[in-house]
Amino acid sequence: MKKEGKELQIIPNSSKGLSAIVATLIIILLVLVAAGIIWVVVRNVISKGAEDIDLSRFTFDLSIKSAYIDGSNVKVVVRRSPGGDDLVGVRFIFFDGTQSINADRKIPLVELQEKLFSFDSVELGDINALQEVSVAPIYESSSGRETIGDITDTATISDSVPPGGNGVNGVNGGVDCGNGAIDAGEECDGGTGCTDCTCDIGYISTDPVSLNCQSESVPSSCNGTWDGVAEDP
């Protein structure tokens, strides 16, 4: 009988030991869950802080020198001031009083450079209804993500060409042949701005109508016009 009594006393002790183990495991599990939650919060804070620090390196100052309607195109002259790293391009935000239309130009501007960008009704709709245009930088963050920065300038779109033309300044008037943008001194570039300039850089068309492009052996001057059959290189 004593033996049986001893065996009966072992059972409750085993239950208590098992309960203690289960309780310990539950506590450990809760601690791990809490630690995971805390880590997620801390990681987000750290990532946000790192991103803010990274973005602080990309401070671009883009200004609009002029914005106007020229025939069937809207032309905007943009100047980049010193500051910031490499610029991927510029986002243009046109506003007609009711809605906005975005148009990106993946053409980089170096510091102190000015460029004239041209847009037509195919891209913007009724250009005569446009009232304002804003610009924002497009750049690539250190993580490799393409990012649209804040708007840096806004200008009213004039219904006529400003006195003195587009007013683009810089080396060679800011001309960059074959970049698809109408720079100072160019009437067209790479098919942008006129129907005749459609051959690629370094090529000519023996017939601007048929657009049969051939290699250009002697480059012409960089003014965006045709010197007989040659598009500017």
DSSP 90-102: EEEEEE-SS-EEE
With 0.95 as the threshold, say if the pTM is over it: no
132 pLDDT tier (thresholds 50, 70, 90): very high
- Are the beta carbons of 106 and 122 closer than 8 angstroms? no
In a domain, residue 209? The reply is yes
For residue 114, the SS3 value is strand
Determine the straight-line distance between the first and last CA of the chain, rounded to whole angstroms.
Answer: 111
Task: Give pLDDT, residue 175.
Answer: 44
Provide the domain limits for residue 214. Answer: 170-233
Task: Give pLDDT, residue 108.
Answer: 80
Task: Give pLDDT, residue 17.
Answer: 64
As given in the structure block, the two tokens for residue 221 are: 């001057």
As given in the structure block, the two tokens for residue 162 are: 């400003």
Task: Indicate the range of 121-130, 150-159, 163-172 predicted with least confidence.
Answer: 163-172
Q: Which of 14, 40, 56 is the last residue of a domain?
A: 56
In a domain, residue 161? The reply is no
* CATH number of domain containing 94: 2.60.40.2060
> Measured between alpha carbons, how far is 201 from 185 in angstroms, rounded to an integer?
17
Task: Give pLDDT, residue 161.
Answer: 80
> Measured between alpha carbons, how far is 3 from 48 in angstroms, rounded to an integer?
68
Q: Are residues 107 and 67 in the same domain?
A: yes
Is the pLDDT at 195 greater than 60? The verdict is: no
Q: Are residues 51 and 66 in the same domain?
A: no
Higher pLDDT, 18 or 172: 18
Number of domains making up the chain: 3
Is the pLDDT at 221 greater than 50? The verdict is: no
> Measured between alpha carbons, how far is 179 from 108 in angstroms, rounded to an integer?
10
The H or E element that residue 66 is part of is: strand 62-70
Is the pLDDT at 148 greater than 80? The verdict is: yes
Task: Give pLDDT, residue 25.
Answer: 84
Q: Which of 111, 126, 156 is the last residue of a domain?
A: 156
Higher pLDDT, 230 or 123: 123
Q: Are residues 49 and 109 in the same domain?
A: no
Mean pLDDT (the chain, rounded): 70
